[in-house]
A and B are shown apart, each in its own frame.
Chain A
């Protein structure tokens, strides 16, 4: 302990944080050294975000001690933490889309003379910061015209503009392509060499092993220890996180039927700017089969799903369900034709956050003139039991549920519709490992009963565990198809990125 005190930039000792009904942190110790990349891992609800909010001055601990740069401190506000040199880049973007990159980087802190913004200096200062994060965009460009990866780098530039000595990144790669992730890694390594300490929160263990020097594991609000990354294996970390080894299970007796129930032919679409997003996408799914749609973010997987489901007016192509061509102009038609779609962003496009479980489950099966509330409640209760949804009652707003339970509510909505075809888009994003398995079990069960399932997932191990067959998209076209025997992570990645093998 004493040997490392000198190079410790920040430390927390015995930190507690309680929210109404939740003891979020139970005496956590945490220390960050100067110039290290320190990963924090744990399941959802383990307390990672709460810990970071305490570091960044967003929340104050109920108990415990925070030492920064050798001095005991309390960060009463984010501004105090920033002034001391702690900057945080949150999972949710905090950018102003219509404003320029420069005005985003220096939001509220424009260099000015007598109240007049000094634009030449603003742009020059921004250009310097952009260079540090390896971003080659015009400082006067509107932020909304940048890709998600570029926006992430703008966020980091913004944090650096505060002369951060400790930079906290919360799930920075969640919306990035592999190429953008690589760029980000380069930036983080560069910052490290400049002496900036980086705290890196991630769900993706491979990123931890690629980037971090040390890693701290949290579980249920308690620290499970800090390890040098070179001394541990992913399996060890996963065991610390969940208390058990996790590997996706796959029923041994997967036997999809032979009858083709779902055919998509020649799906073609452009976005509002007129760029081609889908070109002649075709595939077929048999009854009881789980088809994986692979590809990088932006390859057209979600566009394919929405195009089929009537969520993209103007998308051309033919869709057949049970051999019959169906004309789909809106999700309403798609559901009537026997197609269901579980959207990738559950809060934005799936849930009615202030409504209860029962009302959320019923959303796609509102029928008749007069609704039967009692029956709706019974249905909700049935799924609560069946899918083990941890909700207090049918009336509790689903806003209060964890990500995994929210996802189960959405699954229940589609189980109740019982479509011939169900497309699930990132069904376990931001969901803890235990809930992932439960979601998988539901999808396998659905397929066993004869539903044709299409799975979109950026989590390759998940995609490979679920799918009987994978169709890989690249730049809006079908790049290739892999049977179960030929499905490996390497094969999918090769097709996704167009690497010849």
Chain B
């Protein structure tokens, strides 16, 4: 598997980091900054893994942000109102993700409604469920749950600063590493590339196209729920707006990282590097003290630029 797109983007990220380090030597070059950077990208990084899996198979999920909020609120409600133990609450959150993904997948593969319409609709439904269950926000989640998102490992300090890396960051890297290997080596995941590249030919080659896509939706739902749980744990609160706008950021990052709306291309490494690039841009805006709403505009511009670059590179290609 060639990784040229991923390497190109890595070089860009690397060069940008060097430039920023020269421009803002005090803020940029610190362990604390690096940790803040990784923490900032951890949620989108987790989501991007699921999104890349789907986009390789030629579909996508706009409801990941809404699912993130919903899973957090479900776990929060169970913990605060029903006093369930933490593992059960986490499990319930993940099951909600699986159910949501299953719903998306069934509508897309059985009813043959396209992914845009389906997941736009479920985005609305998940949002309603979130507000119905949890209201605006559930604060003060129990420490046992918060520990899932706030524990630092390895423990200890360095130059008076905490040294350890927080769990969501570990989780992002762990998930990405496993998923990257699976996508490049495992038979089941390789089927996704065939399906995305030519669904008809994949079916006629004996690949169970609909079933594989369905399971990919479930995976994406579970991963989105996991991102939501990690996010809620990190903040110690489950917010109904936790995942707002995540779909835009994550799809932008994944397209930037080499995915195509037509499917059949992209790697998990690309997705993570794409998220890192987005985080770098956001960090720069933050350091340069630009107001937060600019992030939305910048993200939109990057999405169009990334997609435009791909069409330009593929110009003149037929069929």
Contact = CB atoms under 8 A, between A and B. Distances in A.
B186 A354 contact: no
Nearest to B191: A366
Contacts of A353: 197-198, 319
Nearest to B265: A354
A355 B197 contact: yes
B202 interface: yes
Interface in B184-206: 185-188, 190-191, 193-194, 197-198, 200-206
B204 A349 contact: yes
B185 A371 contact: yes
B206 A335 contact: yes
Interface string B104-121: 000000000000000000
Interface size class of B (residues with CB under 8 A): 20 to 34
Nearest to A364: B205
Contacts, number: 79
A331 B204 CA distance: 6
A330 B208 contact: yes
Interface stretch (A114-122, A189-197, A315-323, A340-348): A340-348
Nearest to B188: A369
Contacts of B10: none
Contacts of A399: 317, 319
A249 to B, nearest CB: 30
B289 interface: no
Nearest to B189: A371
B264 interface: yes
Q: Which of A335, A353, A363 has the most CB of B within 10 A?
A: A363
A353 B204 CA distance: 15
B187 A371 contact: yes
B207 A332 contact: yes
Contacts of A364: 205-206
A262 interface: no
A399 to B, nearest CB: 7
Contacts of B191: 366
Interface residues of A, number: 32
Contacts of B202: 352, 363
B111 to A, nearest CB: 15
Contacts of B186: 369-371
A369 B198 contact: no
B211 to A, nearest CB: 9
Contacts of B205: 331, 335, 363-364, 413
A341 B319 contact: no
A403 to B, nearest CB: 12
Given A347-B319, A353-B197, A363-B194, A341 B204 contact: yes
A330 B207 CA distance: 9
Nearest to A332: B206
A391 interface: no
A334 B197 contact: no
B187 A350 contact: no
Interface of B: 2, 185-188, 190-191, 193-194, 197-198, 200-208, 264-265, 317, 319
15 contacts: A309-B204, A311-B204, A331-B203, A331-B206, A332-B206, A335-B206, A343-B204, A348-B198, A349-B200, A352-B194, A352-B264, A353-B319, A355-B264, A366-B191, A368-B187
Q: Which 8 A-B pairs have the closest CB atoms?
A: A335-B206, A363-B205, A352-B197, A364-B205, A332-B206, A349-B200, A366-B187, A331-B206
Given A351-B201, A352-B194, A363-B201, 6 more contacts: A341-B204, A352-B197, A354-B197, A354-B265, A355-B193, A363-B207
